[in-house]
Amino acid sequence: MPPPVDESARLEALFRYDLFGSDGDPQLDEIAATAASACRVPIAQIGFLDRDRLRIRATFGLALTSVPRRGSFSACAICLQEDILEVPDTRRDVRFAHHPLVAHEPSIRFFAAAPIVEPAGYAVGTLVVMDYETRTLSEAERSVLRLLARRTVALLELRQTVHRMEGEIAERVLFEHQQLEERQHLKAANVLLGHASATDTVTRLANRRAFEQRLTEEVQRTHRLLYPLALFIVDVDSFKQINDTFGHPTGDKVLRKVARVLKHVCRETDFVARFGGDEFAVLLPGTDLHGARIIADRCRVAVEKLAWPEHPVRVSIGVAQLPSNTREGSSLVADADRALLRAKQGGKNQSATIDWSQPETLAG
């Protein structure tokens, strides 16, 4: 791919950012990780194209620091000057079918590159997402990719502004200003990403961060309106054995099927989230311990009755209700965890409760 006709000016715009004098860039790494999560892909990179190499300054999922310009996906994207260069199947594209990353390990099958365009209009680099499977981006995912590419430029421009200010204000004031501006940019990006950044990529349920935010809101609402709040935590029994025996893809299928059961059995007012690993959490506003136990057992039985062609899948569940004398959501989570441990110790495939009105008893 021949260089753009304005290559000299483009390189001058690139070198103005002074990107290559240090190792690592946590802020760009965060943008790359956000792109991977939002587009539901295992790999994301931010790279900048100099005279003869693509210099990778942020990476998620594939450890690379640079690649020759002639063998770079990003060089093609920059030279073509497209909005987003998207290749659904690299094996069917004559430009990339024999690329080492396609023809050999890690066998990239899909990539999409959004140009990083500085204010004068020169594409200095790309934000790239890649997958090991063929696919296409949705329009929402393309919008997120464009947004994050613009945020990258905003971050680079902000750094330039900080450098110009260094001779005018004290170092401490400058540092505080930079941190404030960067937090504001990242906060704005998180607001725009919304649902994508709060969703677990495997099960499409709410993730742990979304759960913790909802828990705080529900605890506050409970004390304001004086109604009960319950929680149960669901753990897939012997999940490590499933992964070890059948592989992680099968484990992911198990998690997705359990997630669908929970969403189907639970009510519209309940909040279902992937809590982490093989655990799920369900918040039940306006529900006491007895009502939560009934719904938890329905979920457990529904999982047990599903058709599992390769292996049986069972779950254990810990149920708790927020005590009236506390405003800490963490105590509700801790109680549900204790109840879950009791269910596990009691033989698994059962539910157990923590009832502080009868602290020495276990409903199992």
Averaged pLDDT score across all residues of the chain: 86
Q: What is the pLDDT of residues 321-348, one digit of tens each?
A: 998 787 788 899 999 999 999 999 999 9
Q: Is residue 222 within 8 Å of residue 287, measured between CB atoms?
A: no
pLDDT of residue 359: 47
Contact 275, 208 (CB under 8 A): yes
Domain with CATH 3.30.70.270 in the chain: 208-354
Give the tens place of pLDDT for each residue, 261-310: 999 999 999 999 999 889 999 999 999 999 999 999 999 999 999 877 77
Note the pLDDT tens digit of each residue in 27-82.
Answer: 999 999 999 999 999 999 999 988 888 888 999 998 888 888 876 777 777 776 66
pLDDT exceeds cutoff 80 at 188: no
Q: Which of 255, 326, 226, 336 is nearest to 292 (CA)?
A: 336
Give span(s): CATH 3.30.450.40, the chain: 7-198
Nearest to 293 by CA among 215, 233, 333: 233
Q: Which of 192, 197, 221 is nearest to 208 (CA)?
A: 197
Predicted local confidence at residue 337, as pLDDT:
94
Lowest mean pLDDT among 29-38, 88-97, 161-170, 205-214: 161-170
pLDDT of residue 88: 93
Q: What is the pLDDT of residues 248-262, one digit of tens each?
A: 899 999 999 999 999
pLDDT for 105: 84
296: left (phi over 0), alpha (psi -120 to 50) or beta: alpha
- Residue 121: CA atoms inside 13 Å, Cβ hemisphere, count? 2
Fold annotation for 7-198:
Beta-Lactamase (3.30.450)
What mean pLDDT comes out for the span 91-99?
Answer: 82
The C-alpha torsion from 217 through 219 and 224 to 228, rounded to 10°, is: 130
| The CATH classification of domain 208-354, taken from the options 2.30.40.10, 3.50.50.60, 3.30.70.270, 3.20.20.70 | 3.30.70.270
Taking each helix axis from N to C end, the angle separating 171-193 and 26-39, rounded to the nearest 10 degrees, works out to 0
The Cα-based distances of 163 to 154, 157, 183, 261, 293 in angstroms read: 14, 10, 18, 54, 59
* pLDDT confidence band for 141 (50 / 70 / 90): very high
Considering only 3-7, 90-94, 208-212, 315-319, which range has the smallest mean pLDDT?
Answer: 3-7
